[in-house]
Amino acid sequence: MEQIVYTHSPAVRAFLAKEIGMLVNGRLIAAESGKRFETCDPADGKRLTTVPQAAASDIDLAAKAAHAAFHGEWGSMLPATRGNLLWRLADLVEQNADQLAELESIDNGKPAAFARAVDVQWAIDHLRYFAGWPTKIDGENLPVSQPDMHVYTRKQPVGVVGAIIPWNFPLLMCVWKLAPALAAGCTVVVKPAEQTPLTALRLGELVIEAGFPAGVVNICTGFGEEAGAALVGHPLIDKIAFTGSTAVGREIARRAADDIKHVSLELGGKSPNIVLPDADISRAAAGAAQAIFYETGQVCSAGSRLLVHRSILEPMIEALKAEVAKINPGRGTNAATTMGPLVSKEQHDRVKKYVEIGRNQGAEIVCGGRPIDGDLASGFFFEPTILLNVPDDATVCQEEIFGPVLVVQVYDDLDELIRRANASEYGLAAGVWTRDLSNAHKLAAALDAGSVWVNCYNSFDPSTPFGGFKKSGYGRDGGRAALDKFMHTKSVWMNLA
């Protein structure tokens, strides 16, 4: 606990010192049972604080509040007013950006500077982008082939949204669901991940400060099997927007089918990052390292399979090793850190196990492959790891590791490349490094991926849809596509005769 007193800023210390409440019906409250659970700092495994542990009864209160708000003040609020509230929330996130970034860093492990520049900044940008939408949601006049008929469509919100959030980008994923849902006119109950509840709870305080009517946004911390399952099963929830693992997403879709709830799923990936023989090797290596080692590899769209043309394998491996040598693992609040720990002991054990499996299936370990000890031994740190010479059907080539582990595959020609790049049950993203325009466009069309990045990787913008093919899910975050998934289309027929 001493660490907390000496390293945290006053704003973070003050937040951690109080009894943090969850947002239900416009108030910060404890769970009905009074139960709380701990969240820890993955840099040392130590407890940071406790947060309310919502159960089915708390989810019931939140869902009822969200339902009442949807049919009350929020439902009749003018679009411009709804947009202004989103903009006001963006301003408040910006005013509290350093505190939020530090909270994200200590709860998840990521470097605080990255949290400020990416997680928090992108959350602000996302809120502002969607703040512009309520005043631009329109319908169509349709040219039906029937006399004296005036037919038009209206876009209407689906109702109450249950948003279930993972731990890798806790604030940002929360905003990715909240901003379009609110812009569309829905109300929301959010269930953050148990490992990283802090920034969502702080956001709940800012939602009150922004002046949203009670019940429009509810944020209930708790466990997936308890609070999450209650949300999926609640009769007043009209839609589940989920980001997380494919296993849990599948289960949610199955359970939501009982009530024909709308579901959107942003799931896992095993994304191919492809280097063509003509690529700029140093750029490709820097991009490939960033694609897998950013956020300690805990990114759904991580470029976890690097497909390299045989003719450039050696220089690519050398350039990758040079990139790895620049990585500075450490506590996220240390300004020099460029790679934090994994989020939990569970995740750490999982990554270690996968590397072991890879070794047993014949992988050559180019670098890394072990937990980091020494000063960092008490945290969940793992070395940036590169595996070579692994068969395509090996576990480490097929399953999502969600850690700093890159698998390098070697290919000879384009057709073979496309077939092997697509030989995955996932289809979230892909990268292509080349100076050949024609091959770049061919690959962009042929790859099974919701996003293809050419000479870049993990580029995001609030305007741009992001989501999966195949078992990476369905539905899109970002852009107009995100808005659409929170709206019904109603057709109105008027007989003018």
Nearer to ligand NAP, 125 or 226 (CB): 226
Chosen residue from 223, 286, 366, 465 binding ligand NAP by CB under 6 A: 223
The catalytic position among 300, 323, 383, 400 is 300
448 binds, among ligand NAP, Mg ion, none (CB under 5 to 8 A by kind): none
DSSP for 85-103, please give it.
Answer: HHHHHHHHHHHTHHHHHHH
Strand partners, 39: 49
CA distance 147 to 438: 49
Is residue 402 at the binding interface for ligand NAP, with CB under 6 A as the rule? Answer: yes
Q: Which amino acid is at 380?
A: F
CA distance 239 to 348: 33
300 is catalytic: yes
Chosen residue from 96, 218, 243, 337 binding ligand NAP by CB under 6 A: 243
- For residues 115-129, one letter each, b for 16 or more C-beta atoms within 10 angstroms of the residue's C-beta and e for the rest, the string is bbebbbbbbbbbbbb
194 binds, among ligand NAP, Mg ion, none (CB under 5 to 8 A by kind): ligand NAP
168 binds, among ligand NAP, Mg ion, none (CB under 5 to 8 A by kind): ligand NAP
CA distance 442 to 454: 11
Chosen residue from 91, 205, 251, 425 binding ligand NAP by CB under 6 A: 251
The catalytic position among 102, 194, 226, 266 is 266
Residue in the structure block whose two tokens are 């890394």: 368
CA distance 123 to 146: 47
Closest distance of CB 108 from ligand NAP, Å: 11
Closest distance of CB 333 from Mg ion, Å: 14
Is residue 32 at the binding interface for ligand NAP, with CB under 6 A as the rule? Answer: no
Q: Are strands 36-41 and 46-52 parallel, antiparallel or unpaired?
A: antiparallel
Residue in the structure block whose two tokens are 């305007």: 463
Interface with ligand NAP by CB under 6 A: which range of 160-168, 177-185, 310-318, 355-363?
160-168
Is residue 451 at the binding interface for ligand NAP, with CB under 6 A as the rule? Answer: no
Strand partners, 308: 275, 410
Element (H, E) at 39: strand 36-41
Helix (H, G, I), strand (E, B) or coil at 22: strand
186-215 mask for Mg ion (x: CB under 5 A)? ---------x--------------------
Interface with ligand NAP by CB under 6 A: which range of 24-32, 199-207, 267-275, 317-325?
267-275
Nearer to Mg ion, 227 or 232 (CB): 227
Is residue 22 at the binding interface for ligand NAP, with CB under 6 A as the rule? Answer: no
φ, ψ of residue 457 to 5 degrees: the values are -155, 145
Strand partners, 425: none
- Residues binding ligand NAP: number (CB under 6 A): 28
Closest distance of CB 458 from ligand NAP, Å: 11
281-310 mask for ligand NAP (x: CB under 6 A)? -------------------x----------
Chosen residue from 82, 191, 270, 420 binding ligand NAP by CB under 6 A: 191
Please report how many Cα atoms fall inside a 13 Å half-sphere around the Cα of residue 83, on the Cβ side: 13
Strand order in the sheet with 239-243: 27-29, 22-24, 217-219, 187-191, 160-164, 239-243, 262-266, 473-474
Sign of the dihedral through C-alpha 193, 224, 243, 154: negative
Is residue 237 at the binding interface for ligand NAP, with CB under 6 A as the rule? Answer: no
Strand partners, 263: 240
397 is catalytic: no
To the nearest 10 degrees (0 to 180), the angle between helices 97-108 and 10-17 is: 60
Is residue 171 at the binding interface for ligand NAP, with CB under 6 A as the rule? Answer: no
Is residue 39 at the binding interface for Mg ion, with CB under 5 A as the rule? Answer: yes
Chosen residue from 2, 138, 148, 225 binding ligand NAP by CB under 6 A: 225
Binding stretches for Mg ion (CB under 5 A):
39, 107, 195
Q: Which residues are catalytic?
A: 266, 300
Binding stretches for ligand NAP (CB under 6 A):
164-168, 191, 193-194, 223-225, 228-229, 232, 243-245, 248, 251-252, 266-269, 300, 400, 402, 428
